[in-house]
Structure 1
Amino acid sequence: MTSNAISEIWYTRCPVPTPVGLAAQLGYLEENFRKDGVTLKSIIDSPDRDIRQSHFNHTLDWSFRHGGNVPPIRARSEGRKTRLIGITWTDEFQAIITLPETGIKTTKDLKGRRFGIARRPEGIVDFMRATALKGLISALSLEGLALDDVEIVDIALSDSVLSTQEGPSLFGLKRRQAYGEEVAALIRGDVDAIYVKGTAGINVANLIGAVQVAEFGFNPDPKIRINSGSPRVLTVDELLADERPDLVARLLESIFKASTWAEEHPEETRRFVAREAGATEEQVLASNGPDIHKHLGLGLQPELVEAIGHYKDFLRDFGFLAADFDIADWVDRRHIDAFDRRAAA
């Protein structure tokens, strides 16, 4: 019997394709933790702003998170005692788009033009800005262009990311549609091009009849594809990792069960991912491709860890981190290695 007989654990995941999200929808998470008398409580669905903020800064003890990597990397750089216990790589649509009247048809046409990037108020790390900036750099590099070949135009946002989950302007939905301010700036003619990604990016590009300048979410070079959502990280707080490894084992058991289920149920998986993302199945197919059911696994292979390190260095170089840190010190292999040993036995 453990000396830390806790009764509840906080968890959160981004509204994107993750095996944690799939395990939650399938009931595997709740079922497995119930065996130890533990109730799961969702951070991102809490009505309390202070609780929801932990989705971005990982402040709650006895918690785990699976999703975009900018907030957990930033939290680690601020000294949060978290552990990186797994990585999932699910490629997704990433593109630079414009409107027909700009005359921009290729990435080379961006030279000297205005590229709009949203800037949120200080506080929570501006992960959407980091994502757009990395996407722009990736696109430019494919044509031998550099960041100073374009004019970056800030699209100032007055609301924090927490505000996008509140208020009557949601019209009954869980969160506000992404890229609204960027698209508005594009339509007003304040900027000439913007970055979009995922099902939300597919949706707005379709809505405005955009011209696709470049798409690189499935580029063969992983360093081009690397961004906030490629790959995504599974992190747990230090207390959970060190004092209740049995519960981390329950988490991994649920995730790998969901991953196996996904490989055997491609159409149902697409349906579950669409529900998770607040998208249509058609948008998921367009954004993530026909084989998404094969890319909801979890691992700590060297190439996955290297990808997170590459993106961490990008965030450091562009001022998104509080301080630098060693990725190797963040990675905690004990849990996934123990799981692999049990599976082999």
Structure 2
Amino acid sequence: MSVTGTERVEKSEPGLREITYTICPVPLGSHVAVEKGWLEEELAAVGAAPRYIRSRPEHDWPTHFTHQLPDFFRDGGNIPAIWARSRGEKTRVVGLTFSGTGGRIIVAAHARFNRISDLRGKKIALPRRADTDRIDFWRATAERGILLALELNGLSGNDVEIVELISHGAGFLPPKPAQKPLDAFDAAQVNVVSGAEVEALFTGEVDAIYADFGRAKILEGEGKVKAIEDLGHYPDWTLQVANTPHTITVSADLAENNPEIVVAYLKAAIRGGRWINENHAEAGRLFANVTSYRCPIGAARVLDGYNFVPNLTGRSIAGIEVEKRFLLDHGYIENDFDVHQWVDRSFLEQALALLDGQVGTGTSPCRAEPACTAL
């Protein structure tokens, strides 16, 4: 039986510094870097080795949200990253990927609602985690999406009945150990569209819910729901901020004391992003196993129009500010901070410069990603 890179790390190769990482179940270059062995390769070149968060003891798993482990990388939704920074965790943003679609407002397929204005006086679900040990990113994303959809159609939260639905448990990811993200998320596929708000929609307890694009497409594909609003179909790009842009954050101490490790991680993520850009069909097959896009063809289509190479463009950074402001204004975080001071461009610039001198590493024809990565 072959041994994967993460399995080798579990045996703690002599002389390699262990670096813990976590990746959210969304299309990201970091996922490709893990599956292709590029993350292990790049880190080994600077004397380090990757270890997936769920291969550690279970009490370390909340670090996916809290960012409290040392020598830690996180790639994924920006809401937990913003929350951790606002609580005082010393982190740096070293890369962003903006591939959001904003989400949709969906209703039961048989419902006589065809537009948001039809929901005046009706019930819209807003999920809430029973546990308060970490930020409720699902609720924050849903609340912003709902309020935006209402505003775009001349309504406000006062024109509908917001029904809070409490959810218990860990969510869609089973509480089991895993050696890498694929092991954890592949087994979770059956649960990605579950939730108190989905059940309430089907039983008629509520009339509409917010759903991210992947979740909505699965339910639409099953013929159970229809969308009456799509935040991704407007020219206003800020409407697509929905736990996106995805952030690559790293422990500040690691960044300051071992910048070569941060550059190595980013080199792997860039290689992964470039590979996605050039191999949508194959990437779709991978992401069908580590995201909510169950169908490989559908997952591949979602990739169209986006650049998955990590960037730090003005728009991506502004997107983080948009998200932070909403979280602050609606009580999800208590402490403000300067987003621009949180971002450090030096690591990404160096990683790109080093890769542009290499051959055969999944390079992209777009050679200056920070300048041309508008999406």
Instruction: Normalising by structure 2, report the TM-score.
Output: 0.82
- 1:186 alignment counterpart: 201
- Residue type of the partner of 1:129? R
> How far 1:264 moved relative to its partner?
2.4
Which of structure 1's runs of 4+ aligned residues deviate more than 4 A? 340-345
Q: Distance in 2 between matches of 1:262 and 1:100?
A: 34
Is it true that 1:329 corresponds to 2:341 in the alignment?
yes
Is it true that 1:313 corresponds to 2:325 in the alignment?
yes
Contact 2:20 2:50 in 1 (8 A): yes
- 2:26 alignment counterpart: 16
- 2:152 alignment counterpart: 142
- 2:70 alignment counterpart: 61
Cα deviation code 1:128-181 (max 9, x no counterpart): 0001111112212221222222211011112244x84228xx9x9246323432
Query: Within 5 A, what are the aligned runs for 1:108-147?
Result: 108-121=117-130, 122-147=132-157
Q: Distance in 2 between matches of 1:314 and 1:26?
A: 37
Percent identity over the alignment? 31
Q: Distance in 1 between matches of 2:224 and 2:255?
A: 47
Q: Distance in 1 between matches of 2:59 and 2:259?
A: 27
SS of the equivalent of 1:9 reads strand
Contact 2:127 2:196 in 1 (8 A): yes
Q: Distance in 1 between matches of 2:355 and 2:16?
A: 26
Q: What stretches of structure 2 of length at least 5 have no aligned partner?
A: 1-14, 177-183, 358-375
Is it true that 1:258 corresponds to 2:268 in the alignment?
no
> How far 1:35 moved relative to its partner?
2.1
**Alignment CA distance shift 1:20-1:100 (3 Å):** closer
Q: Distance in 2 between matches of 1:74 and 1:231?
A: 15
- 2:251 alignment counterpart: 237
> How far 1:282 moved relative to its partner?
3.1
**Alignment CA distance shift 1:204-1:93 (3 Å):** farther
Query: Within 5 A, what are the aligned runs for 1:68-87?
Result: 68-87=77-96
SS of the equivalent of 2:333 reads coil
> How far 1:285 moved relative to its partner?
4.2
Paired residues in the alignment total 332
- 1:296 alignment counterpart: 308
Contact 2:280 2:300 in 1 (8 A): no
Q: Distance in 1 between matches of 2:225 and 2:138?
A: 20
> Which residue among 100, 106, 116 is the counterpart of 2:115?
106
SS of the equivalent of 2:299 reads helix
**Alignment CA distance shift 1:250-1:139 (3 Å):** same
> How far 1:219 moved relative to its partner?
2.8
- 1:97 alignment counterpart: 106
SS of the equivalent of 1:217 reads helix
Is it true that 1:277 corresponds to 2:265 in the alignment?
no
> How far 1:203 moved relative to its partner?
1.4
> Which residue among 23, 41, 45 is the counterpart of 1:31?
41
Is the deviation greater in 20-29 or in 306-315?
20-29
Contact 1:130 1:315 in 2 (8 A): yes
Cα deviation code 1:80-126 (max 9, x no counterpart): 00001111011347211111444211011122111001110211110
Q: What stretches of structure 1 of length at least 5 have no aligned partner?
A: none
**Alignment CA distance shift 1:274-1:93 (3 Å):** farther
Q: Distance in 2 between matches of 1:47 and 1:61?
A: 13
Contact 2:26 2:76 in 1 (8 A): yes
- Residue type of the partner of 1:253? K
- 1:50 alignment counterpart: 59
Q: Distance in 2 between matches of 1:212 and 1:259?
A: 30
Q: Distance in 2 between matches of 1:47 and 1:238?
A: 21
Q: CA RMSD in A?
A: 2.3
Q: Distance in 1 between matches of 2:234 and 2:203?
A: 31
Contact 2:97 2:247 in 1 (8 A): yes
Contact 2:102 2:240 in 1 (8 A): no
> How far 1:322 moved relative to its partner?
3.1
Cα deviation code 1:188-224 (max 9, x no counterpart): 2111100111323321333352121111234321111
SS of the equivalent of 2:55 reads coil
- 1:219 alignment counterpart: 234
